[in-house]
Every structure is written in structure tokens, then in C-alpha cells.
Structure 1
Amino acid sequence: MDEVDHGPMTAGETADARSESVKPEDVKRGSGVSLWKQIAETLEAEIASGARKPGARLPVEAELAERFGVNRHTVRRALSVLGERGLIEATAGRGTFVKEPPLRYPIGARTRFSEIVLASGREPHGRFLGSQVEDASVEVARELGVAPGTKVLRIDTTHEADGVPISCGSAWFVHARCQDLDLVYAATGSLTRALSTLGIIDFRRKETRLTARVADERERGLLSLAMGRSVMVVERVDVDVAGVPLQWGRSSFAADRVQLVIKP
């Protein structure tokens, strides 16, 4: 049975409803297949054929409603189904996009977000959220090899690939060694470049620890995740060329946007 849309509509949706009197080529009324299902199948076929490529932005709901001659409630249901199938993804403030394949993210002795994203053919971007000088907790002190209460610099960031949020997290540095690192990072968006201005040209990964859980409210906001979506939590210790701990960090990755690859 064809879907029938009920309930009050906004002024904009009233215009959409009037357009249903026009019979478009893409959907067939009276066919026994719901209109939203026909729309979902049409868009899915366009994605499968390559007509809509990974990363491509879909038209807004009003444009799709006009194309198919339905109201926005019908379009919204079709898009919801495609989202559940993992074919499209809505990002707050940007729109709805054909979902990119998971970013292959190797974790080895040299792990650099910008280099990994560039190698995948995407554009990396690090966003500075804030920083604070604080007393090292027992956990942070243990990871950095300093005494509890030592002044450390915490930098909070998010990272994106082609504008899609990939991870968010915090990193801690011994403040006496990395003064003004946060200011340089805020200006450059690259930790590697920021460290080089302090004379730290190279560093390597000493240890990586992985866990998984449901995203909390803050992570959902920063990563544009729906309720119930999962994150992979990556804890890392990086050391300088002399083996001295340089940073300890904890980042949450949108679980379905990355494929973590552990390299020897």
C-alpha cells in the first residue's frame, strides 16, 4: 500500500503536498510499493551506480521533495532508512552526504593524523578546542613519567577528514618542556608542526591501547553522532628520540568512520 502522509504541515510542506498532484517519473503511485521505499531505492541505485559518489552532498529535503513530488515527511523517512543502512550520513551544519568508506588508519611507530588522511586522498584538519595548565593527576603523571602534581599542559582537539569529524580528544604534555605549544597548535592545526617549533623534530609511538564503548553526550556533539553510536577510544604514549615520554593522549574515534590498522 502506498504511504499516505497525515497530520498538520508547515506552510512550506503545504506547497510540497500540492506538488504531489504532479506525477514524477521516479515514483509510481498505486504500485503497491510505498513512496518512501521507492525514493530510497532510487537514491540507493544512484549511489550504487556511482552517479552519487562517496562524499557527495545530497540535495536538501525540499529539493528531493520537489523532484519526487512528495512532502518532506516522505523524503525524511527515505533518508532515515538509507542512513540506517550506512549509505548516507547527516552531519550537523553541513548537510547529508553519501558515506565515505572507512578511513584506513595505520597505527605504528610513526602515527601522524595529517599524513594518514592525505595518503587516503582526503583533506585533514585539526581544530583547537582549548587548553589548560593543570596539576598532573596520578594517571597522567604515570604515563608521562613525572611526579603527581607536576604542571602539565592539556590540549583539547577534534580532527576531520574532508570536513567530516573523525576523532576528538585530549593530549597532555609536561608544561615546562612544551610552553606555548597550544598557541602554535591553534595557529597551525598540526601537532607535528607545533612541536617542531619547539625543537622537537621527531617522535614515535611507544604504546597504543584500544577500547570501545557507546559515545557519550560530548562525543556525540563533537563527532555529529546519533544516540547509541559507538566510539573507539585510543590511548597513546609518544616518546622523543631519546625515549623520554613526550605526550599522553586519549582520543575517541567515530567507530564506523575509521578502520584502525595495527602495524608492527
Structure 2
Amino acid sequence: MGPKTASGNLLERRAGVALWRQIADRIRQAINIGEFGDSGMMPPEMQLAERFGVNRHTVRSALAALASEGLVQAVQGRGTMILRRDRLSYPIGKRTRFSEGLQGQAERIAFQCLGHGRTVAGAEIAEALDIPPGTECITLETLGGADGIPLSRASHVFPGPDFAAIPAHFERFGSITRALAEVGIADYTRLSTDVIARHALPDEVAELKLSPGAILLETVAVNADGEGRRIQYSRTRFAADRIKLRIES
């Protein structure tokens, strides 16, 4: 019989994924749904090892990874304490704005530019922005956070030379909405948002200060100006244990 899941079912071993990472995933999920009750403490390592059908060393490695994420903390003489914290709620609707969406939930909301440049639109971006493949586009890479904690890592694409000044305006104001206003886009709306969940890649782990195996919520969104012209394609990765997405009509 194989290792068990947090809910008691058999754990399917995933090829190429270390067992301790799989155990960390199950524990993370259990913490997020409040499965460990109100004690504020994780079950003992031996109990977790029996529950998942693994040895204590594997459980210890999983708990160490979760501790680096800030989800748990070892307490001398007591065991492993769950560091409870409410995930921020980020609304996704017709007028999605990062800062406005988190207002009242954090004291300091900040964006930073990680890089910018130019690219040629491939098939996916060309279709999303309704432009011919091969069109030169402006790119912007950003990191968004609240109260010093990284929440999102995003890649934005804007169609054509009309948007060449976007990176400079973003670096000046720390706001895509303000940057778009500076190039004549007074308002814009969300046309579509697709959401998937997946494991963070190594560069995302580093940028969002996560542990290997952490789960991301990834959105792919397209925005349009008041005349319906598609002006922005964004792929945003949110740390799933720090933020939850709320879909609004």
C-alpha cells in the first residue's frame, strides 16, 4: 500500500517530484482548509509519518519547507506551530486593479519593475491582442506585494510603438493604470481571465520567496480600452497561500 493523502486516500507518487515535496503539498492544503482544527499545532512528526506512510525524515523535510514559506514554525518542547494568517482577497472583475483590489487589507501596497523590453508577437499573444503575428510589442515584468510580502509576479505585453513609454511611466508611478493614462488610455476593462493552479518554477520560487513545491494561481488576462481595442495581455502568478482570487460578475 502506498503513502496516504491528507484526507486518508492513497498518495499518488508523481514522477520527478520528491516525496517530501508531495507531503508538503498535502500539509499545505490541509492547513489552508483548516483540517488540523483549532489547536494551532501540527500533529507530531511520527503521527504524520504514519498518516502519509513515509518516514519521519521525509515529514521533517516537508515541515522545513513549509517553515521557510512562513506557514509553520518549530517551537522547542511543543512541536510545530501553525502560523495562521488570512489570505488577502483579490477581486477579478470588469475593472481589475491591483492596488484598489487590496485596499483596506494591507497598509503598504507596492509594485516594482523587474525588467522591460520589446518582443515580437507569437501566435498566442497575437490572437489575444488581435494583432498580426510578428507585430513588435512592449514588455514589462513586475512584482507586486503588500506590507513587504511578495504576492504576484506578472509579465505584461502591450501592442505596438504607441506603448513604448509604458515602462518609463511605470517606473515613475509604480502603477500600470497610471502608466496607461500617461499614454492616453484613461480607462480600460477586462475582456477575459483564465485561471489555473500549478507548482512554482525555480525563478518564481526565488522572486516570490517561496519554498520548492509551492502552489501558484496563474491568471492570463486581456484588457481593452473604451473603444474595444485590446491593449494589454498579462500573465500573473499569485502565491496561493497568500492570496485568494474572488471572481466578480
TM range (shorter): 0.5 to 0.7
Shift of 1:86: 6.3
Shift of 1:175: 2.5
Look up the match of 1:192: 177
Q: Select the residue among 199, 208, 214 that pairs with 1:214.
A: 199
Distance 1:191 1:254, change over 3 A: same
Look up the match of 2:211: 226
Look up the match of 2:220: 235
For 1:170 and 1:102, how far apart are their aligned partners in 2? 23
Distance 1:219 1:125, change over 3 A: same
Superposition pairs of residues 159-198 of structure 1, within 5 angstroms: 159-198=144-183
For 2:132 and 2:210, how far apart are their aligned partners in 1? 37
For 2:224 and 2:171, how far apart are their aligned partners in 1? 22
Superposition pairs of residues 96-175 of structure 1, within 5 angstroms: 100-175=85-160
C-alpha contact (below 8 Å) 1:133/1:175 kept by paired residues: no
Shift of 1:121: 3.4
1:209 partner amino acid: D
Shift of 1:174: 1.0
Shift of 1:117: 1.9
Look up the match of 1:70: none
- CA RMSD in angstroms, aligned pairs only: 2.7
Aligned length: 184
TM-score by length of 1: 0.64
For 1:217 and 1:85, how far apart are their aligned partners in 2? 14
For 1:217 and 1:81, how far apart are their aligned partners in 2? 14
Residues 164-209 of structure 1 show CA distances to partners (whole Å, capped at 9, x for unaligned) of 0001020100132212111110121110111111111110111000
For 1:262 and 1:121, how far apart are their aligned partners in 2? 20
Q: Which consecutive residues of structure 1, in runs of 5 or more, have no partner in the other structure?
A: 1-43, 46-76, 90-97
For 2:235 and 2:149, how far apart are their aligned partners in 1? 20
Look up the match of 1:253: 238
Identity of aligned residues (%): 34
Distance 1:203 1:160, change over 3 A: same
C-alpha contact (below 8 Å) 1:135/1:152 kept by paired residues: yes
C-alpha contact (below 8 Å) 2:65/2:212 kept by paired residues: no
C-alpha contact (below 8 Å) 2:65/2:211 kept by paired residues: no
Q: Which has the larger radius of gyration?
A: 1
For 1:105 and 1:178, how far apart are their aligned partners in 2? 27
Q: Which consecutive residues of structure 2, in runs of 5 or more, have no partner in the other structure?
A: 1-39, 42-60, 74-82
Shift of 1:88: 5.0
Residues 208-258 of structure 1 show CA distances to partners (whole Å, capped at 9, x for unaligned) of 000011100110011001011110110000111111111011011101111
TM-score by length of 2: 0.68
1:109 partner amino acid: K
C-alpha contact (below 8 Å) 1:185/1:194 kept by paired residues: yes
C-alpha contact (below 8 Å) 2:193/2:222 kept by paired residues: yes
Distance 1:150 1:85, change over 3 A: closer
Alignment pair present for 1:83 and 2:60: no
C-alpha contact (below 8 Å) 2:94/2:191 kept by paired residues: yes
Greater relative CO, 1 or 2 (CA 8 Å, sep 6+):
2
C-alpha contact (below 8 Å) 1:117/1:123 kept by paired residues: no
For 2:199 and 2:238, how far apart are their aligned partners in 1? 11
